[in-house]
Amino acid sequence: MEKKIGKFFSSEKTIAKVIVALVMIVALVTVFDLSTVYTTFATQDSGYGYGYGVASEYGYGYGYWTEETPTLAITYASCSSSCTITPNTAVTITATFGSAVSGTPDIYITEDAVATQAYTAMSGSGTTWTFGYTTGSGAATAGVVAVRTHSGDGYTPTPTNSTFTITAGGGGNGGGNGGTTTTTTTTETVTTDTGVELTTETVSEVVPTQAAVINADNEAEGLEHFIALTGDVPATDGEWQSVNFIAYGTTNSTGMSVRDRKGVVGDYFDIYGRVPASTTDWYDIDLILTSHKPTQRQISAEQTALVDFTKVYKRLPDFNNIYDEWALYYIGYNIRNVVRNLDSERAAIGSFKGVYGYVPSTSHHWSIMRAIAYTGASR
């Protein structure tokens, strides 16, 4: 027996074959494990999630939907736009989703910024959910309905027709006509490209305009940056808004330097491939500057964020963990924090250097740093 074993190991060809066989076995096991991980990751809940890598099969956050870009429309009885309801009127509010909701959505209602209905479960199933609501006794220039999924931890589509007014006499919404003589003035709204309705006051806060006192130096710097990004001079009022943003800022960006505002426009260009030039674009920028995710998705940005997440946290995201989802938002859309914590940022810079071997130097690097500092995601 000993002679046979010695003869077996004395053959270089035999040893080489054994080594090759072992390598193949290890490779097959590795491939099997990885394929299992990624298959599970890509198909969880049979809905859209970050696990999908193909643009046509790629989703936005967890909560999972059977459509790539989920939709939500709100109606008040039969009214589907510019809805007016009379005081003390019972009305059925219907939320119609583009695809079936997982779990039970909640509804929240305010009248003139005062909460009149705390988050409460709606009734229904699948794509259609309803809630019986009775308006207040007085006029309201702005009633607002909010809907959330997974108790706020899931992704909820931006609703259309989420605002209403309360005036005497009704307004064709099927909710009945009150006999009061209460009067009010309606609030003018602007609907963004994504269906979000903004008051004129909100629009004035988020859409940049030229200041009454011209700052020629700032405008020149803004124009130079616009040309550097696009290779051309602004040709429309919408394109000039980028110059105005850099030169003068908006309500939530006036505290930023011209250099920082140039960075915001540059980030938007890198993410979406264009400069911001519509109310929707500027509304999204305002969301990004105030620690919110934008209404407009960009698949390539989300895919890049997924790669960075796995590199930083050494694992795949857990889509039942809201912190993981927010880390992806922060990285993908360069979300800024409203309140900064310099100690957290210093620690995050150290963590970033530990992963990448250098300190952050690009806008994308800093978005990863902010995800580490502020989202709560961990290894």
- From CA 155, how far away is CA 72, in angstroms rounded? 12
pLDDT on residue 185: 41
At residue 24 the predicted structure's pLDDT band, cuts being 50, 70 and 90, is low
pLDDT on residue 197: 82
pLDDT digits (tens, 9 = 90+) for 84-127: 888 888 889 999 988 777 778 889 888 877 788 888 889 988 88
Structure tokens at 200: 């004129």
Residue with the bigger pLDDT between 344 and 154: it is 344
pLDDT on residue 49: 41
Q: Which residue's structure tokens are 């009061």?
A: 180
**How is residue 151 annotated by DSSP?**
G
The C-alpha R_g of the chain, in whole angstroms, comes to: 27
Q: Helices 237-248 and 279-289 sit at what angle, rounded to 10 degrees?
A: 30
pLDDT digits (tens, 9 = 90+) for 199-247: 887 899 999 999 999 999 999 999 999 999 999 999 999 999 999 999 9
String of b and e for 52-81 (b: at least 16 CB within 10 Å)? beeeeebbbbbbbbeebebbbbbbbbebee
Residue 280: is its pLDDT beyond 50?
A: yes
pLDDT on residue 315: 94
Average pLDDT taken over every residue of the chain: 78
pLDDT digits (tens, 9 = 90+) for 157-208: 778 888 888 875 444 443 433 333 333 344 577 888 877 888 887 899 999 9
Model pTM above 0.85: no
pLDDT digits (tens, 9 = 90+) for 307-339: 999 999 999 998 788 899 889 999 999 999 877
pLDDT digits (tens, 9 = 90+) for 285-307: 999 998 888 999 899 999 999 99
